[in-house]
Structure formats: C-alpha cells, structure tokens
Chain A
C-alpha cells in the first residue's frame, strides 16, 4: 500500500521566543517493511539530518532569531509492504529490557502481565496481552497527559495510543522480553483515531514484531514507522525547548491517504 502523508505542526507563542531548539524525528527510513518514495521537511531554517541513538533520522532545528511561531512541515510518499510483519536487526535488543520513568511497571502491571502470559513468551502470548490491555485501558482522548506513566494509565483505565504503548512496554519488559516504542502514522478509513500514532514492538528471538494495542493489530499493514525508542520521549516526532515565549498553542494536522497503486507493466 502506498501512503501519502502530509503532516504540519504549528506552534504559536503568546510572546516572542528568543531562541528555540527542536529534536525532530519526522523522517521515515527504509526498512524491510517500508520503502520511501519521496520525503521532505519544510523547516524555517535548514537542518542537517543525523542518526539519533536509536538509529532514527533526526533533524535538530535551532532558531536563535526572535520568533512568534514555528511551522514544521513533513510530506512524502511511502510504500508499505503488507506482507512483511517483522523487522530484523543486527543490534542486540537487550537494551530494550530496561524500564524508564514512563514505562516503569508497578505491582498491578506486573501481575496483569504475568496472569495474561503465564510461562508463555511467544507472539500469541503477547497478542493475548495486547487484547487484554486494549480491553482494560479504554481509548479516550483528553484523559491523560504526555507525562502520564504506564502505571497511571493502567490504574485510570483510560488513555490514548501513547498510554497503550507504554502499558504494553511495561508489561512485556516485566516478562523479560525486550520491547520498544514506535511513533509513526496510521491510515484508517474512519478518522476516529488521530493519524499520528504510537504502537509497540517486541523482540521475539529473531526479529521485532508489532503490537498496536489501540487497534488490536499485530500486522502493521497500515503503519508507517517514523522512529523507535525506549518510550515516547525518545521517539516522539517533535521534542523541543525554548527561551521566552510564554504560553503556547500547538496545532498538528496530519493527512494520511492511500494512493492508487500504479500498475507495473
């Protein structure tokens, strides 16, 4: 499936910002699952691409002229191979066993994971876990914050895709299985869920497998991956800081649409 993406993020500030810096993970990369046809970032100032610690493509945007708004645009076309559901990796997955503040499991999460999976550590066990978490944490925008932890969302029983992914990571890592956070885009016919999306991947011996708790999907057919990390903070599309500016309003507009495949003759 070929997806066309248009993602514009606009920040408006109440006062003038003296300087700002953003870590942008808004560029997908080639993998077994996705082929990038075209991609471009529209930034207020040129930024050089580099790799971040997780191998993601990172742009660091530094603005030191006073500004009152920032517009960050990303657009392009990517082919998703629906038949590939695993991603291989030459690096060890062991670093993805560690917990972070956002993915620290409490007793409740540990027990939940253990009761769902018992001694099983395979794909079907994690699929059961994914479904159980989907039932346990109801998708409800506006109920949690970006700083909400897995344990908080689990206790509250409501959250968004980020919380689903964090809760899944906390559970899976507590079982001794490496797992990572994925940020990207999702194509859905109904637009009840934002097209900017988060899901999780777990390392099952030979490759990374996807688990989208929010949609109960283990085949990432309509998922375009932007970045991975230990949690939201590592993988989120935009993470920035600024001096001055006062309050801020952020508007993100994402359009994900399928393109008709051109018949190859």
Chain B
C-alpha cells in the first residue's frame, strides 16, 4: 500500500518549504565533517549533563541517552498560532470536564458521555468528588500529543493530564542547538522557550490561594525514568526537590524536613502517580508517598499539581469524547481534530477492528509509553494473531485507530539524512491563564518506517522551532 507522508521540510514536489529555507541554505553551506563533529559533541555534552532515560522492561535498568537529532523540526508561526489556540481550547475544556465530573456531572446528565464510562473507570477518584479546587484547575501541566496526517492536518493523538514528561528535553535540546549552531539563531527569528521554568513556577504559585506559597517538586526518586527531569525542573525553578520521605503530615498540614526545622509546604508539583501519593489512602505498599497527604489535600491545606483523578480525562476510552467536551463546555467548534477511534467495548466496533487488524493501531485504554500496543501495518502475522486473542479476551481494555501517516522530518541516520516520523508534545500550563511556550517536544522514530516515537521504544528528540513567517 503506497502511503503519502507529509514532510515538514519538503513539499510534494521536493521543494523546500519557506520556513525551512534559511536552515536548508545553512545545511548546504556547512561541511558534513563539521556537522558530524558537532553531533559527537552533542552526545558528549548530553552524557556529561546526565540527561538519560531509564528503560522499563529492562532487567538491568539501563540508563540510556535519548538520541538527539540536530536537524530541527520547524513550524511557521502562523500555523503554530492555530495549534496553540487549539491546545488551549482543548485543555480548558478538559479542566472544565474534570470540575464538572467531580461536582454536578452535567455532561453525564446531558447524555453526552455514558456515566459508567467514567464513573466505573479506575481513574475516577472518589477522593475528588465534591472537592473544590482553587481556580477549578485539575490539570495544571498538560502534554498534548499531536501528529500530522498525509495532508498535514494536525490531530491530537492523546492528552496527557497526569504527570506528562519530556519538557526538560525540549529545553535542553534548544540549549544544545544554540550552543552548537549559534549562527542559525542569528539569521532568523526563532521564538524563545527558555522562560518555561518561570511560567511553570508562576503556574504552580497561582494554583494556591496564598500570596507567596512555598513550592516543591516531589519525585519518586532516582530510579524513576524521568528523575533527571524532576531534578532539572526543581533547579530551574529554584525550588526544593523532595522525595516522599522528606515530607510529613502533622494536623492535616504538609511539612518538609529541613536542617532549620519543619517548613510548611503549600504546593506540591508531584511527579508521582495517584496510587503512590498516600500509602494510607491508596496503594499501601507505596514507599514513595507521604502518609496523610490525602487528608491534608482534602482539607485544602496543600495543592497538588496535577490534581488527583485527572487520569479519567486522558483515559483512551474517554478520548473519543473530548471534542464533544469542547462543544459542551465552551460552545465552540474544536480547533484540533481527534483521530477517529473505534471503541472495542462496543461489539459492532470490535468486529470491525478484528476484521481490519493489519491496517489499524490498537492501544490499551490504560496504557501509555507505547507499551502494549499493536501497529498493524508494521506487525508480523503472529503478532497480529496474538493481539487478536488479547482483544477478544478483554475488548473493553482496547481502542483502535486508523494508522496515521505520521509526518516526517529529515533526520541524521547512519546512511546520511533521511525522513523519519515525528510527533509534537506542546506543554500547556493552566493557572491564572492558560498558556504555553512556543513549540514543544518533537519526538522522532529513528527506525526507518517506525511510527512509535516513545523514547522507551527507540525514539529520539529534535529541537522545535516556531519561525516567524
């Protein structure tokens, strides 16, 4: 089957798109040996900075460098403004959905989402029922995963409203590009992103009703795959990085142990899943959380960012309803499209999926990180049959989507420069206002033909440019 891919740099006739012309000129003028040398330099610098990623499912817990590609992913500013508005619109609707779901449940009463779909969902947290949050914000930090189909249309692949990661790579990739190729930033206007930590801190502060709240970053610890990012963001914001054991609860307030005695904590940017937050309320085996945290939270004495229970809104079984949420809460047409989705829990949709497995992408509703997913066109007959068995056994645990022709971007590979598939994760910050820094994290599937960009599956990253046009 011939597939038409949208290439970010070259149009269908092989002509360089206008927003890539400065870069193309520079690339043609720069000797290949110099580029190769700079790439080696980048690897060395990343290693030295300790920007690594721990691979799950690897017994040795190997720390791996996420490959960095020096050819940027570039987006014209006029196009970005639409994407930006679309992300803001979507995240606003998702936050309104969460506030509604944990209060009046108007959207369920209106018959737009079947109640059992969300209320019986494991991610729906009774702990949030009726709890009022400052500014009604649940997902303070959201990562919206976008891909482009064959004609260049942007689609939202998923919303990440729990503890989305990757923003440190976005920031480090930019620093690296500016260090290796400062000349590129002199010849054109590329929107800066280095104010992200300031915006993040401002967002976290504004999540508390207090004037000058104290903020900490809560990490599961150094064995977590994103530990580097937790440490990075704490340092960039100038706040403490803590583990569960550094915090304690007394009389429904959260304190941090310091050499100068206990200090009250008002906002916790937690990079720990709901189930691990409080061993007295959730998973009792969790050594990572803070006993008593839930009671303190429900007493309104500490803010968690993101809130507990956001997972019900980014669950893949709820994803098909997000465009309806935009219409319902904002009375607007969605700017960004959803990928058409078959819900395998519905018998008629399941039979369609089973009949078309070789063409579809099948995902677990609870899964993330590209584990437990089938990419039909890239799978062997045996893999497809194995998935068919799993689907039949637990249809409600899966959704299926058409295989999108993810856009490509020229990328350095062993044989030179070749197109590789990419996605984009902008990070949306919700506080006093909803905003984002221009661009986001571009992930690239380095294996030829691969559509899976997750770093755990051999993906790399690129700097993302928003170029004034």
Interface residues of chain A, those whose CB is within 8 Å of chain B, are: 19, 21, 23, 47-48, 50-54, 58, 60, 62, 64, 91-92, 94-95, 97-98, 233, 239-241
With known contacts A50-B295, A91-B129, A21–B120 Cβ distance under 8 A: no
CB <8 Å contact, B248 and A19: yes
A64 contacts which chain B residues (CB < 8 A)? 248, 250
Residues of chain B at interface, number, CB under 8 A:
28
* Given known A-B contacts A23-B281, A53-B127, A60 and B292 have beta carbons under 8 A apart: yes
Could you tell me if A92 and B119 are in contact, using CB atoms closer than 8 angstroms?
A: yes
Please name all residues of chain A whose beta carbon is closer than 8 Å to the beta carbon of B125 when the two chains form the complex: 53
Residues of chain A within 8 A of B121, CB atoms compared:
98
B252 CB contacts on chain A under 8 angstroms: 48, 50, 60
Interchain CA distance A84-B465 in the complex, whole Å = 68
In the complex, B164 has a CB within 8 A of chain A: no
A53 adjacent to B248 (CB under 8 Å): no
Check A94 against B119 for contact (C-beta < 8 Å): yes
Judged by a CB distance under 8 angstroms, whether B21 is at the interface is no
* A241:B291 contact, CB within 8 angstroms: yes
Q: Does B211 contact A (CB under 8 A)?
A: no
Q: What is the bound-complex CA distance between A58 and B252, given in angstroms? A: 12
Q: Is B348 an interface residue (CB 8 A)?
A: no
Q: Is B29 an interface residue (CB 8 A)?
A: no
Q: Is the interface of B mostly helix, strand, loop or mixed?
A: loop
Chain B residues in 8 Å Cβ range of A91: 129
User: Are A95 and B249 in contact, with the CB atoms below 8 A?
Assistant: no
Chain A: which residue is nearest B282 at the CB level?
A: A233
**B64 at interface, CB cutoff 8 A:** no
If A50-B252, A64-B250 are given as contacts, then 4 extra A-B residue pairs at C-beta distance below 8 Å, sorted by A number, are A21-B249, A50-B299, A91-B129, A97-B116
22 of the cross-chain contacts (CB-CB < 8 Å) are A21-B249, A21-B280, A23-B280, A48-B252, A51-B298, A53-B125, A58-B295, A60-B252, A62-B251, A62-B292, A64-B248, A64-B250, A91-B129, A92-B105, A94-B115, A95-B119, A95-B124, A95-B126, A98-B122, A233-B284, A239-B280, A241-B279
Q: List the A side residues contacting B284 at CB < 8 Å.
A: 233, 239
Alpha-carbon distance A95/B126, docked complex (angstroms): 7
The answer for the CA separation of A241 and B289 in the assembled complex, in Å, is 12
Is B298 within 8 A of A50, CB to CB?
A: yes
Which residues of chain B are within 8 angstroms of A50 by Cβ–Cβ distance? Answer: 252, 295, 298-299
Please tell me which one of the listed residues A21, A48, A233 contacts residue B292 in the complex, with CB atoms under 8 A apart: A21
CA distance A215 to B252 in the complex (A): 39
Set of chain B residues within 8 Å of A54, measured between Cβ atoms: 126
Residues from chain A with Cβ under 8 Å of B127 in the complex: 53
Chain B residues with CB below 8 A from A23, complex form = 280-281, 292, 295
A92 x B115 contact (CB < 8 A): yes
- Collect the chain B residues with CB atoms within 8 Å of residue A21's CB: 248-249, 280, 291-292
Task: Give Cα A92–Cα B124 distance, bound, in whole angstroms.
Answer: 12
In this complex, the member of B121, B126, B129 whose beta carbon has the largest number of chain A beta carbons within 10 angstroms is B126
Closest 8 CB pairs of A and B: A94-B119, A53-B127, A53-B126, A97-B120, A241-B291, A60-B295, A62-B250, A21-B292
